[in-house]
Amino acid sequence: MVAQRTLKSITRAVGVGIHSGRKVELVLRPAAPNTGIVFRRVDLAQPVDIKVDPQSVCDTRMATTISPGGDPGAPKVQTIEHLLSACAGLGLDNLYVDINADEVPILDGSAASFVFLLQSAGIELQPAPKRFLKVKKTVELRRGEGRSLMWARLEPHHGYTLSFEIEFDNPAVAATGQRYVFDMGSGQYKKEIARARTFGMTADIELMRSRGLTLGGNMDNAIVVDDYRVLNSDGLRYDDEFVKHKILDAIGDMQVAGHPLLAAYTSFKGGHALNNLLLRELLKDESAYEIVTFERDEEAPRGFAELAPAW
């Protein structure tokens, strides 16, 4: 049987929120089968639980933000996508995330620190079949036209692949590979995707700062690019780090479904907003998907029954 997974032990992380700039503490705890991933705001007088599912997403402008039932007036947790990406990369199904602020810490701007934390706590197989969200019909969304065209698509596939293309005018980004295809069954998430950092252009960063955003962002947790070059003194971690970060984000945004996908995901210049709309579009049509389990490991797509290799 391909089994559900949780943590073996409790682990903690401390960091700053990239938007608020404030210190945040996370406690990651094991959870029972079929719990899913649940954030708990422990800084409030009454702790508030926010279960990760597509309807809990309440804002996708800068990052993916959730609240109970997607209520914009309710307590929130923002920037969940890098932690969720790490969970997806390690095949974690069930987890409690206690958090004492409204934003997940940015750490190094990638998913690598979360992968390290989760693996240090250990991954445990649980006595319940892992539930996959199998896409049965192609769903596609397009927005804008001409240079502002973006689209994203989910197609049926026995496995889970993600293909992303970006198209930036910026010469420093354009000089790197702007298209990448990743197979989640390859076991290469940690090596090829997890270390890709978030990025920003200096002009955008100045604008966002003036609005009180990205106050915690700096070159320790983001790639910063001016009109011509990467400003970080140690350069890029991958030749194509920008597009790999978009895949890292997409993996996190799709994990909001509550189950790993069995699908081929493709995006051209999409982002958090389009990713969430795509998931909602899929789930609107009950004949477009089904929840499946694998009683025998051999029936699962290649690489899905094994635990991800350790560092």
Instruction: Return residues touching Zn ion (CB under 5 A).
Output: 198, 249
Residue 31 Cβ, how far from Zn ion at the closest point, in Å? 24
Residue 169 Cβ, how far from Zn ion at the closest point, in Å? 20
80-105: burial string, b at 16+ Cβ within 10 Å, e else: bbbbbbbbbbbbbbbbbbbbbbbbbb
Closer by beta carbon to Zn ion, 178 or else 293: 178
Classify residue 55 by burial, with Cβ atoms within 10 Å: 0-12, 13-18, 19+: middle
Closer by beta carbon to Zn ion, 113 or else 126: 113
Helix, strand or coil, per DSSP, at residue 62: coil
Residue 143 Cβ, how far from Zn ion at the closest point, in Å? 19
Closer by beta carbon to Zn ion, 29 or else 103: 103
Cα–Cα distance between 224 and 247 in angstroms, integer?
A: 19
**Helical ranges in 69-187 per DSSP H:** 81-90, 112-121, 171-174
Closer by beta carbon to Zn ion, 78 or else 198: 198
Tokens, residue 176? 């790197």
Cα–Cα distance between 21 and 297 in angstroms, integer?
A: 44
**Which has the closest alpha carbon to 48: 25, 19, 20, 77?**
77
For the question of residue 272 being annotated catalytic, the response is yes
**Which has the closest alpha carbon to 194: 95, 60, 87, 78?**
87
Closer by beta carbon to Zn ion, 270 or else 301: 270
Closer by beta carbon to Zn ion, 198 or else 266: 198
Residue 262 Cβ, how far from Zn ion at the closest point, in Å? 24
Closer by beta carbon to Zn ion, 244 or else 259: 244
Contact 129/294 with Cβ under 8 angstroms?
yes
Residue 278 Cβ, how far from Zn ion at the closest point, in Å? 17
Residue 78 Cβ, how far from Zn ion at the closest point, in Å? 12
Q: Bridge partners of 24?
A: 15
Residue 246 Cβ, how far from Zn ion at the closest point, in Å? 8
Cα–Cα distance between 9 and 18 in angstroms, integer?
A: 27
What residue has token string 């990406």?
85
134-143: burial string, b at 16+ Cβ within 10 Å, e else: bbbeebebee
Measured CA to CA in angstroms, residue 264 lies from 80, 93, 111, 242, 247 at distances of 23, 20, 22, 20, 12
What positions carry a catalytic annotation? 272
